[in-house]
Every structure is written in C-alpha cells, then in structure tokens.
Chains A and B, each alone.
Chain A
Amino acid sequence: MRSITTWARIKSPWVIHFNSGACNGCDIEVIALLTPRYDVERFGIKLAPSPRHADVLLTTGVVTAQCAERLKRIYDQMPEPKFVVAIGACACSGGVFKGNYSVVGGVENIIPVNIYIPGCPPKPEAIIDGVVKLLNSLKEA
C-alpha cells in the first residue's frame, strides 16, 4: 500500500510556480520547462492552477519583505504532503540582492525548503535534475 502511494506521488507531481521577487530570469527558465522543448509533462509534471491542487512549490527569486507573508500563505494553502524547490541563487540565499533593505533573504527564511537549485538562472536541465533528485529522495524515504 505504502509503495503504491509513493509510486503515485513520484509519477504525478503537480507544480505551482511562485515568484517572490525574481528578476524574471529564473521564471523564464521555469516556463521553458513546460514548453514542448523540455516538456516535463512527459514525467507527469503538470502546472496546477491553484495551490490547493499542487504538490510541489517552485519558488524563484529573493523573498521581498512584502512578499514574505504571501509566500507563507500560499505554502499554507497547499495540502500535505508538499515540497518546496528553491530555484536560482536568489531563492537559495538571497543572491545579488543579499543585504538589501527591502528583502528578507532566501526562501528558507520563510518556509522549509526541500531542494536548492543554484544558478543565475539555472538551466532547465539543472531544474529537471533537481526535481528528479527530490523524487528519488522520496523513493528512498
């Protein structure tokens, strides 16, 4: 029974993308994932319309002071089990915006992050690699 649920979770991760203050570089890479060129739909990955439907939260960009509360709220709206992927140097640590008066820092300061994908911006291949690592860690757990 456990193995069937794990199999279903690995095969059907629905993602939602949230930009908490990125320069849009990372967002374009995330969109590239979903277009026919990289087509992550092959793995059952689907862009969910609402946080209530999603399993994986893809966050891009540094968290600005204004966005922090929204990010938390979106995270709370997602049903368990949920995973967070921080995409880009900014989301991982604050990146070039680190120390700015209007930012809180990386995503980890607000919500727990499962996997970090550094790069400015990371290539779509790197993002796929990160998501695969996340799914494999599920399998081992």
Chain B
Amino acid sequence: MQNRVGPSLTGPSGILQPLADFIKLITKEDIIPRDAKKTVFRFAPILAFSVIVFGMCFFPIDGTNIIPNSAFSGDLIFDLALLTIVNFLMFLSGWASASPYGSIGAARVLVQFLGYDIPLFLLALSPAFLAQSLSISEIATAQNIPFVILAPWAFILFLIAMQAELEKDPFDTPNAESELVGGLETEYCGGRLAFLHLTRDVQIIFGAAIVVELFLGGPYGPVFFGFPTFWYTLWFILKLLGVIVLSEYLASLFARLRIDQVLTGNWKILLPLSILSLILTVALATWIYPWVM
C-alpha cells in the first residue's frame, strides 16, 4: 500500500526487524504507573502470551500435533475458548493500567469480543457438522475437498468474524490510534509491551491457523517424495501465509468502523447471517456428505 517498502535495512531485506524491536523493548526501563493494579499489570500480558502459545499446540501442523497426542475430541471448542481467554486477558491488561485511554481501549476489546465470539463459534460449527467431529485434526482429515469449496458461505463469514475477533481493520476500534493513543497498550513499556505485541502477532497466526484447519484442508496436500510430514508442514505454512496475506489485504483495504457500527454490524447482520449459514449447511448436508471423506 502507498508503495511503501517497509523496514528493509535490518538483516537481509528487513526480516530481522521484529527481532530488533523485541530485543530493544525487553532491554528498556520498566515503568509501572503509580495507580495501576500492580499484579494484574505485571502478569496479564505474559499470561496472555503463554495461553495463546499453548493454544497453538493443538493444531495438527505436520499431520500430527506439535505435542504428540495432545488432540482430543473437543479441542475445537477448547481452542476457541482459549482465544476468548486471551482477549479477556488483553482487556485485563488495559484495564489495570489505570489510564483513561487504556480503559477505553480495554472496554472496547471486551464489547467487541463478547459480540463476535458468538458468530465465530456458530460459523466454526459448519465444518464441524460436515466432518461430524469437534476435533480439529479430524475436521482437517475429513477434507478431501476443502470446505472452502463445499461451504464457501461459511468460509467468507468466518473470515469476517475472525478479522473482528483479532481486532484488525475494519474492526480495529480497540487500538484506534487517532482516537485512543495506543489503546490498551498506552501505559505499557519495555518487556510487557513487547509481550503484548507478540501476543497480537501470535493471535493473528492462531486465527489464520484455525481458518486453514477448518476450511482449507489443514496441512494435507499432495506428497511428492520423501517424508509426508515435511510436505504437510510445507503445505500448512503456505496456506497459513496465504490466509495472512488475504487478511492483511482486507485490513489495508478498508477504513476503520466506529464502535457502534461494529456492534450493530455484529448483532444485526453477522449473527443472523451466521445462523442462516449454519441452517444452509445443515439443509444441504445430504448433498455435501458424498464429497466428504
């Protein structure tokens, strides 16, 4: 966008920039505002980061799981719940900083994810219904033909709900820089800020990974030679990058909505649409089933 090249002088074509940012942040002075709720302020960002990384362990990336046998039959619900918990911890970290900008940003996070969680769960049910399983790895295995082709309506809505859940444009009201300074991060500096940024980034990968697993056939793809695990990991990463590019493209394409528009958009449009999409999936199930493995 705008023909910007982005950071290009840190390491080979700038790929070390996030690392430089991170090291710089953790070596900076650590300030805790006088009125902040000290314990929550200290631990919420780090806890948020560890919870989201824990959630990543349930994705079958190389055809199995990162932690072997960590999958169980309800891990889709569990993973989506972890995403909610992370958002709640983000809210806590903003609220604990006792700054007006931080609290407004945090309140917006709360309002937004409480609303968008419901359509997200409903939409995640469509692939689960088609695969007749609530386990992420079984849903991924069931997709001989990816669900993005069999149920495109659910895919598009899921992408929108995910964009809102991850607070990206056009739904990034919680960290609207022009209104809220830094949103919930306003009072954070040093290492804690680094962890908040890192949580955001891992959240984006997490969301993209859920999309890949539910709609794009997970890590499965053609195996040409050698170890299947290598090819599965490769396919997974390629699909993941594809989804991230798509979501970043959407984010830079749209302007930010107001918080009231975000809310009406959710309750009046997205929620009914997601219920409709679930009904459509159930209604068409008899025709879709022959294509599912």
Report the interface size class on chain A.
Answer: 20 to 34
Contacts of B8 in A (CB 8 A): 42
The residue on B at minimum CB distance from A42 is B8
CA distance A42 to B7 in the complex (A): 4
- Chain B interface size, as a band, is 20 to 34
Please determine whether A12 and B17 come into contact, CB atoms closer than 8 angstroms.
Answer: yes
Q: Does B110 reach chain A (CB closer than 8 Å)?
A: no
What B residues does A55 contact at CB under 8 A? 24, 28
Q: Report the stretch among B73-81, B142-150, B177-185 that lies at the interface.
A: B177-185
A41 within 8 A of B: yes
Partner of B3, one of A5, A36, A41, A77: A36
Does B111 sit within 8 A of A, measured CB to CB?
A: no
Q: Which residues of A contact B31 (CB under 8 A)?
A: 52, 77, 79
Interface residue ranges of B1-58 to A (CB < 8 Å): 2-10, 14, 16-17, 19-24, 27-31
Shortest Cβ distance from residue A7 to the other chain B in the assembled complex, whole angstroms: 7
Bound form: Cα–Cα A80–B24 in Å: 11
The residues of B that contact A39 with a CB separation of less than 8 Å are 4-5
Interface segment out of the listed A21-29, A43-51, A118-126: A43-51
Binding site for A on B (CB under 8 A): 2-10, 14, 16-17, 19-24, 27-31, 101, 177, 181-182, 185-190, 193
A contact residues vs B (CB 8 Å cutoff): 4-5, 7-9, 11-12, 36, 39, 41-44, 48-50, 52-53, 55, 77, 79-81
Ranked 4 nearest A-B pairs via Cβ: A8-B23, A79-B29, A11-B20, A80-B29
